[in-house]
Structure 1
Amino acid sequence: LLSGLKPWARRWAVPSVVLNLILSILLLIVTIALSAKKPEPCLADPTCPDGWVRHLEKCYYFSQAEGNWTYSQSHCSALGASLAAIDTQHEM
């Protein structure tokens, strides 16, 4: 196979094949690694409406209105919100 090549070409034939093989394997590894890496979700910085307070990724509105549970719940619902619930000790 190599006998038809000139001496200088014969000397570089095997190293160049090995180098090409190594570069191809590295390219394959990098391609697989980059395609397997899941992009991090793009989290928009949510802001709270005016007059609301942000705490631990949640928005709170402190109303001065007085009323029973049913009135308060419907008032919150009209604002697209719900009555506050403390989910963890950390939220307190």
Structure 2
Amino acid sequence: MVEKIKTSIVINRSLWERFKTKVVGEGGLKGLSEAVEEAIEEELCEDLIIEALEELLGSEKPPLAVTPVKPEVQTDAGKAVRELRDSRL
């Protein structure tokens, strides 16, 4: 089980009341802490992704050099974009 802490914050009253009303209406009062935790995780999602990738890679370092490749078939990006735009009409 993940260790939990109890904390106090100072926040705009009307903002908190709106948030609380929305969360309680969707999942009950127990969901309030989960909603705050989820909002914090969303704010830190980049860090969480980096940590997870570092854990997966271990001590391996990904290659830093990117080598361009030439397409095997001749392509025309302008033509492809035009076809996509025309298909929307």
TM-score normalised to structure 1 length: 0.24
Q: Higher helix share goes to which structure?
A: 2
| Bigger CA radius of gyration | 1
Greater RCO structure (CA 8 Å; 6+ sep): 1
TM-score normalised to structure 2 length: 0.24
Q: Higher strand share goes to which structure?
A: 1
